[in-house]
Structure 1
Amino acid sequence: MSTGQDSQSRIVLYVSATIALLFVAVSIIMPVQTDKAANTMLAFLTVNFGWLYLLSVFIFTVTVIGAALSRYGGIKLGKDDDKPEFTNFQWFTMLFGSGMGVGLLYWAVAEPMIHYMKPPIGEAQTAEAMFLAMRYIFNDFGIHVWIIYGVCGLALAYFQFRKGLPCLISSAFYPILGERIHGPIGKTIDILTVVTTIFGVATSLGLGANQIAGGLQYIWGIKSSPQIAAMAIGVITTVVTLATISGLHKAMQVVADTKVWLMSAFMLFTFLLGGAVFQLNIFTHTLGDYLQNFIGQSLWMGNLEWTQAWPVFYRAWYIAWAGFVGQFVARVSKGRTIREFVLAITLLPSGFCFIWLAIYGGAAFHLDSLSNGAIQAAVQADTATALFALLKHLPLYAITAPLAIVAIVTSLTAAVNSATYTLGMLTSGGDMEPSKKLRAFWGIAQGAVTIMLILVGGTSILKSMQTASIAGAFPFMLIMLVMCYCVVKAFSEEEV
Structure 2
Amino acid sequence: MAKGQQKVLQTVNWPVFIMSGGFLLLFVVMAFTNMELTSFIVDKGFQLAITYFGGYWQVLLLATFLVGAVLAFSKLGSVRIGKLDKPEMGFFKYLAIVVTTGLGAGGVFWAAAEPLYYFLEAPPTYSGVIETTNDAIQVALAQSFISWGFSAWAVYGAICSIVMVYAHNHKGMPLKPRTILYPILGDRIQDSKWGTAVDVFCIIGAAAGTIGPIGFLGLQVSYGVNALFGWPDTYVTQVTIILILTSIVLLSTLTGIEKGIQWLSKVNVNTALFIGVFLVLFGPGIFLIDSYLSATGTYLSHFIEMSTFRGDNEWSGAWMLFFFGWFIGFGPIVALMVARISRGRTIRELFLVVAIITPILTNIWFTILGGSGIFYEIQKPGSIATPLEENGLPAAIIAIASQMPLGSMMPFLFLLLTILFVVTTVDTMSYSLAMSVTGKGNPAKSIRFFWASIMSIIAMILINVGNGGVNALQSFVVIAAVPVSLILLPLLWGAPKIALLLAKEQGIISSEEKNNK
**TM bucket, shorter chain:** over 0.9
Rounded to whole Å, the distance in 1 between the matches of 2:268 and 2:53 is: 36
Candidates 381, 398, 402, aligned match of 2:408: 398
- Within 5 Å, which residues of 2 pair with 1:70-219? 70-79=74-83, 81-119=84-122, 120=124, 121-122=127-128, 123-150=130-157, 151-183=159-191, 184-219=193-228
Shift of 1:265: 1.2
Shift of 1:302: 2.8
1:367 matched to which residue of 2? 376
Matched, 1:59 2:63: yes
Change (3 A) 1:361 1:469: closer
Change (3 A) 1:153 1:209: farther
Rounded to whole Å, the distance in 2 between the matches of 1:191 and 1:47 is: 24
SS at match of 1:397: coil
Rounded to whole Å, the distance in 2 between the matches of 1:272 and 1:385 is: 25
Rounded to whole Å, the distance in 1 between the matches of 2:421 and 2:108 is: 9
Rounded to whole Å, the distance in 1 between the matches of 2:324 and 2:11 is: 35
1:240 matched to which residue of 2? 249
2:283·2:405 contact (CA, 8 Å) conserved in 1?
A: no
Rounded to whole Å, the distance in 2 between the matches of 1:143 and 1:6 is: 40
Shift of 1:82: 3.4
Q: Could you report, residue by residue, the CA deviation over 1:143-192 in whole angstroms, capped at 9, with x for unpaired residues?
A: 12311102333322232223332211212212211222122111111111
1:435 matched to which residue of 2? 444
Q: For 1:307, give the aligned amino acid.
A: S
Q: Could you report, residue by residue, the CA deviation over 1:46-68 in whole angstroms, capped at 9, with x for unpaired residues?
A: 12322111111111112211221
Matched, 1:265 2:274: yes
Where structure 1 has 5 or more consecutive residues not aligned to the other structure, the ranges are none
The count of corresponding residues between Structure 1 and Structure 2 is 493
Q: For 1:274, give the aligned amino acid.
A: G
Shift of 1:8: 7.0
Query: Structure 1 vs Structure 2: percent identity of aligned residues?
Result: 26
Matched, 1:41 2:42: no
SS at match of 2:155: helix
1:410 matched to which residue of 2? 420
Rounded to whole Å, the distance in 1 between the matches of 2:207 and 2:405 is: 40
The two structures have a TM-score, normalised by structure 2, of 0.91
Q: Could you report, residue by residue, the CA deviation over 1:205-252 in whole angstroms, capped at 9, with x for unpaired residues?
A: 111222211211221222323332221111111111221232111111
Q: For 1:38, give the aligned amino acid.
A: V
1:459 matched to which residue of 2? 467
- Within 5 Å, which residues of 2 pair with 1:332-347? 332-347=341-356
Shift of 1:27: 1.8
1:157·1:331 contact (CA, 8 Å) conserved in 2?
A: yes
Rounded to whole Å, the distance in 1 between the matches of 2:282 and 2:385 is: 19
Which range is displaced more, 121-130 or 353-362?
121-130
Q: CA RMSD in A?
A: 2.0
Rounded to whole Å, the distance in 2 between the matches of 1:110 and 1:8 is: 41
Q: Could you report, residue by residue, the CA deviation over 1:191-211 in whole angstroms, capped at 9, with x for unpaired residues?
A: 111111111110011112222
Q: For 1:166, give the aligned amino acid.
A: P
Rounded to whole Å, the distance in 2 between the matches of 1:168 and 1:282 is: 42
Candidates 336, 344, 354, aligned match of 1:327: 336
Where structure 2 has 5 or more consecutive residues not aligned to the other structure, the ranges are 510-517
Rounded to whole Å, the distance in 2 between the matches of 1:162 and 1:32 is: 49
Rounded to whole Å, the distance in 1 between the matches of 2:166 and 2:300 is: 29
1:351 matched to which residue of 2? 360
Candidates 456, 461, 469, aligned match of 2:477: 469
Rounded to whole Å, the distance in 2 between the matches of 1:307 and 1:371 is: 30
